Amino acid sequence: MSQELTAQERSILLNHIRDIPDFPKPDIIFKDITPLLSSPEALNILMDHLTNRYLGYELDYIAGIDARGFIFGSILADRLGVGFVPVRKKNKLPYTTVAQKYSLEYGFDEVEIHIDAFGETKGAKVLLIDDLIATGGTAKAANELIEKVGANCVETCFIIELEFLNGKEKFEDQSVYSVLKF
């Protein structure tokens, strides 16, 4: 299988992403990935694509952002034979953590990672994954956390990118890959 999606594969993935108008608030069109998750064909196409893309990266870990990044990240980690590390919302991890704040439209939020998330592997090669990039705040904070604990985030991957929100711009010199762009 090639690294690029075929037109047919792209079409199958797009047909399994549902638009939900006015969710979670008016004038937002939410991109719902649950139809993709419930389709063995669509999910397999996506995961085959990601597996082929990242086979040559010689990754040590996949880090997934709470909560949908856990789904794609854990499947990909299993397929690549590497560890999976959760990046969670504040106060959800049971051990000693490192936190990173990020700004929201009104206020701040925080994500955390275990201080020993990448074990003794200094400079561990990590892929960060999430379902969607909008403004990029959460992913940028997660990326900074990975670096804070001594690992190297080699790329940040999203299943969906909302290009009109320019979230990718937060990653200046970092490599970002999006499977589908809207």
Helix (H, G, I), strand (E, B) or coil at 1: coil
Among 68, 79, 110, 144, the one annotated catalytic: 68
Is 68 a known active-site residue?
yes
Sign of CA dihedral 51, 54, 60, 64: negative
- Dump strand ranges (E) for the chain: 18-21, 29-32, 61-65, 83-89, 97-104, 107-114, 125-133, 152-161, 176-181
What does R_g of the chain's alpha carbons equal in angstroms? 16
Tallying the residues shown for the chain, one arrives at: 182
Peptide bond before residue 63 is cis, with ω within 30 degrees of 0: no
Spatial distance between the Cα atoms of 110 and 52, rounded to a whole number of angstroms: 32
Query: Which residues, 6 or more positions from 153, have their beta carbon under 8 angstroms from its beta carbon?
Result: 63, 126, 127, 128, 143, 146, 147, 174
- Written as one letter, the residue type at 11 is S
Among 58, 79, 88, 105, the one annotated catalytic: 105
The residues assigned a catalytic role are: 68, 105
